[in-house]
Amino acid sequence: MKELRMKPTTAAHKLNGDITADALLARFQDHIKYSRGKHFAGATDFDKLASLSRAIRDLAVERMLATQQTYYDRDAKRVYYLSMEFLMGRLLSNNVISLGLRPVVEKALGKLGLSFEQLCNYEPDAGLGNGGLGRLAACYLDSLATLEYPGYGYGIRYRHGMFRQEFDNGWQMERPDDWLKFGNPWEIIRPEDAVPVLVYGRIENLPAIGDGPPRSVWVDWQMIDGVPYDIPIIGCGVNTVNILRLWSARAAEGFRLDVFNQGDYVRAIQEKNWAETISKVLYPSENTHAGKELRLIQEYFLVACSVRDAVRRHLKKHESLDNFAEKNALQLNDTHPALAVAELMRHLLDEQDVPWERSWEITVAALGYTNHTLLPEALEKWPVPLMERVLPRHLQIIYEINDRFLDSVRLRYPNDDERIRRVSLVEEGEVKQVRMANLAIVGSHAVNGVAQLHSDLLKANLVPEFAQMWPERFSNKTNGITQRRWLLACNPGLAALITECIGDKWVRDLDALRKLEPFAEKPEFLQRFLAVKQANKQRLAALIGERHGIAVDPQSLFDVHVKRLHEYKRQLLNALHIIALYHRIKDNPAGDFVPRTFLFGAKAAPGYHMAKRIIKFVNSIGEVLARDPDVRGRVRVVFLPDYCVSLAEMIVPAADLSEQISTAGKEASGTGNMKLALNGALTMGTWDGANIEIAEAVGLDNIFIFGHRAGQIEAMSRDGYRPHEWAERDAELRRVLASIRQGEFSPGAPGLFDDIHRALVEWGDTYFHLADFRSYADSQQRASDLFRDRTTWARKAALNVARMGRFSSDRSIREYAREIWNLRPVPVKVAAAKPTM
Ligand code: 26Q
Ligand 1 pocket test, pick from 287, 332, 478, 567 with the greatest ligand atom count within 8 Å of Cβ, gives: 287
Which residue has a Cα nearest atom 7 of ligand 1?
Answer: 286
Q: For residue 377, report the distance from its CA to the centre of ligand 1, in Å.
A: 12
Taking a C-beta distance cutoff of 8 angstroms, is the pair 540, 493 a contact? no
Q: Which of 90, 159, 372, 612 is flagged as catalytic?
A: 372
Q: Which of 135, 570, 636, 675 is flagged as catalytic?
A: 675
Ligand 1 pocket test, pick from 286, 299, 669, 674 with the greatest ligand atom count within 8 Å of Cβ, gives: 286
| DSSP, res 515 | G
Closest CA to 483 of 46, 44, 213, 94: 94
Number of the ligand 1 atom closest to the C-alpha atom of 285? 5
Closest CA to 402 of 370, 433, 378: 433
Give tens-digit pLDDT for 378-419: 999 999 999 999 999 999 999 999 999 999 999 999 999 999
Which residue has a Cα nearest atom 1 of ligand 1?
Answer: 289
Q: What does the pLDDT average to over 53-69?
A: 98
Which residue has a Cα nearest atom 12 of ligand 1?
Answer: 286
HEC-encoded secondary structure of 156-182: ECCCECCCEEEEECCEEEEECCCCCCC
Instruction: Encode burial over 638-654: b for 16+ CB neighbours within 10 A, e otherwise.
Output: bbbbbbbbbbbbbbbbb
pLDDT at 212 (0 to 100): 77
Taking a C-beta distance cutoff of 8 angstroms, is the pair 697, 802 a contact? no
Q: What does the pLDDT average to over 471-487?
A: 98
Q: For residue 513, report the distance from its CA to the centre of ligand 1, in Å.
A: 30
| DSSP, res 749 | -
pLDDT-based confidence at residue 11 (cuts at 50, 70, 90): very low
Taking a C-beta distance cutoff of 8 angstroms, is the pair 466, 441 a contact? yes
Strand partners, 660: 685
Q: What does the pLDDT average to over 517-537?
A: 98
Which residue has a Cα nearest atom 15 of ligand 1?
Answer: 133
Which residue has a Cα nearest atom 19 of ligand 1?
Answer: 133
Number of the ligand 1 atom closest to the C-alpha atom of 380? 2
Query: 564 catalytic, yes or no?
Result: yes
d(CA 707, CA 684): 10
7 pLDDT above the threshold of 60: no
Number of the ligand 1 atom closest to the C-alpha atom of 689? 26
Q: What percent of the chain has pLDDT over 90?
A: 92
* Composition of the chain by helix, strand, coil, percent to 5: 50, 15, 35
Q: What is the full DSSP assignment across 452-511?
A: HHHHHHIIIIISHHHHHH-GGGEEE----B-HIIIIIIT-HHHHHHHHHHH-SGGGT-GG
Number of the ligand 1 atom closest to the C-alpha atom of 292? 3
Q: What does the pLDDT average to over 45-55?
A: 98
Residues 6+ apart with CB under 8 A from 759: 567, 610, 765, 766
For 313, the enclosing helix (H) or strand (E) is helix 293-317
More confident residue, 614 or 212: 614
Number of the ligand 1 atom closest to the C-alpha atom of 135? 21
At position 754, the amino acid (one-letter code) is D
Q: Which of 54, 90, 569, 811 is flagged as catalytic?
A: 569
| DSSP, res 444 | -
Q: For residue 566, report the distance from its CA to the centre of ligand 1, in Å.
A: 12
Q: Which of 63, 564, 616, 796 is flagged as catalytic?
A: 564
Q: For residue 131, report the distance from its CA to the centre of ligand 1, in Å.
A: 7
Which residue has a Cα nearest atom 8 of ligand 1?
Answer: 286
Q: For residue 291, report the distance from its CA to the centre of ligand 1, in Å.
A: 15
Domains, in order of start, for the chain: 483-713+770-806 (3.40.50.2000)
Number of the ligand 1 atom closest to the C-alpha atom of 667? 26
Q: Which of 264-268, 332-336, 807-811 has the lowest mean pLDDT?
A: 264-268
pLDDT-based confidence at residue 832 (cuts at 50, 70, 90): low
Number of the ligand 1 atom closest to the C-alpha atom of 671? 24
Residues 6+ apart with CB under 8 A from 26: 837
Q: For residue 373, report the distance from its CA to the centre of ligand 1, in Å.
A: 7
Which residue has a Cα nearest atom 9 of ligand 1?
Answer: 286
pLDDT at 207 (0 to 100): 85
Number of the ligand 1 atom closest to the C-alpha atom of 291? 3
Q: For residue 372, report the distance from its CA to the centre of ligand 1, in Å.
A: 6
Give tens-digit pLDDT for 226-246: 999 999 999 999 999 999 999
Give tens-digit pLDDT for 634-690: 999 999 999 999 999 999 999 999 999 999 999 999 999 999 999 999 999 999 999
> Could you count the other beta carbons within 10 Å of the beta carbon of residue 159?
18
Strand partners, 156: 247
Q: What is the mean pLDDT of the chain?
A: 95
Report in angstroms the alpha-carbon separations of 244 from 152, 435, 446, 823: 6, 29, 23, 18
Which residue has a Cα nearest atom 2 of ligand 1?
Answer: 289
d(CA 104, CA 546): 30
Q: For residue 740, report the distance from its CA to the centre of ligand 1, in Å.
A: 31
Give tens-digit pLDDT for 322-334: 999 999 999 999 9
Q: Which of 67, 70, 482, 671 is flagged as catalytic?
A: 671
Strand partners, 167: 172
d(CA 59, CA 652): 30
Q: For residue 317, report the distance from its CA to the centre of ligand 1, in Å.
A: 36
pLDDT at 267 (0 to 100): 82
Ligand 1 pocket test, pick from 128, 133, 563 with the greatest ligand atom count within 8 Å of Cβ, gives: 133
Q: Which of 563, 570, 636, 814 is flagged as catalytic?
A: 563
Which residue has a Cα nearest atom 5 of ligand 1?
Answer: 285
Q: For residue 287, report the distance from its CA to the centre of ligand 1, in Å.
A: 5
Number of the ligand 1 atom closest to the C-alpha atom of 129? 9
Q: Ligand 1: list residues with CB < 6 Å.
A: 130-133, 136, 283, 285-287, 289-290, 295, 336, 372-373, 378, 380, 450, 479, 667-671, 689
pLDDT at 254 (0 to 100): 66
Q: What does the pLDDT average to over 427-456?
A: 98
Ligand 1 pocket test, pick from 331, 373, 479 with the greatest ligand atom count within 8 Å of Cβ, gives: 373
Q: What is the full DSSP assignment across 344-381?
A: HHHIIIIIT---HHHHHHHHHHHEEEE-----GGGS-E
Which residue has a Cα nearest atom 21 of ligand 1?
Answer: 133
Q: For residue 795, report the distance from its CA to the centre of ligand 1, in Å.
A: 35
Closest CA to 259 of 275, 276, 271, 273: 271
HEC-encoded secondary structure of 24-91: HHHHHHHHHHHCCCCCHHHCCHHHHHHHHHHHHHHHHHHHHHHHHHHHHHCCCCEEEEECCCEEEECC
pLDDT at 269 (0 to 100): 83
Q: For residue 142, report the distance from its CA to the centre of ligand 1, in Å.
A: 20
Query: 316 catalytic, yes or no?
Result: no
Residues 6+ apart with CB under 8 A from 171: 612, 615, 616, 619
Give tens-digit pLDDT for 544-575: 999 999 999 999 999 999 999 999 999 999 99
Number of the ligand 1 atom closest to the C-alpha atom of 134? 16
Q: Enter the pTM of the model.
A: 0.96
Q: For residue 632, report the distance from its CA to the centre of ligand 1, in Å.
A: 39
Closest CA to 372 of 340, 335, 337: 335
- Collapsed DSSP state (helix, strand, coil) of residue 155: strand
Which residue has a Cα nearest atom 17 of ligand 1?
Answer: 133
Report in angstroms the alpha-carbon separations of 283 from 124, 179, 332: 19, 16, 18
Residues 6+ apart with CB under 8 A from 784: 557, 593, 594, 596
Which residue has a Cα nearest atom 24 of ligand 1?
Answer: 670
Q: What does the pLDDT average to over 484-502?
A: 98
pLDDT-based confidence at residue 255 (cuts at 50, 70, 90): low
16 pLDDT above the threshold of 60: no
Query: 569 catalytic, yes or no?
Result: yes
Q: At what angle do helices 754-761 and 769-787 cross, to 10 degrees?
A: 110
Number of the ligand 1 atom closest to the C-alpha atom of 131? 16
Query: 533 catalytic, yes or no?
Result: no
Which residue has a Cα nearest atom 13 of ligand 1?
Answer: 286
pLDDT at 18 (0 to 100): 73
| DSSP, res 261 | H
Closest CA to 501 of 485, 521, 476, 477: 521
Give tens-digit pLDDT for 446-471: 999 999 999 999 999 999 999 999 99
Q: What does the pLDDT average to over 430-437?
A: 98
pLDDT-based confidence at residue 3 (cuts at 50, 70, 90): very low
Q: For residue 196, report the distance from its CA to the centre of ligand 1, in Å.
A: 28
Give tens-digit pLDDT for 93-146: 999 999 999 999 999 999 999 999 999 999 999 999 999 999 999 999 999 999
Taking a C-beta distance cutoff of 8 angstroms, is the pair 665, 691 a contact? no
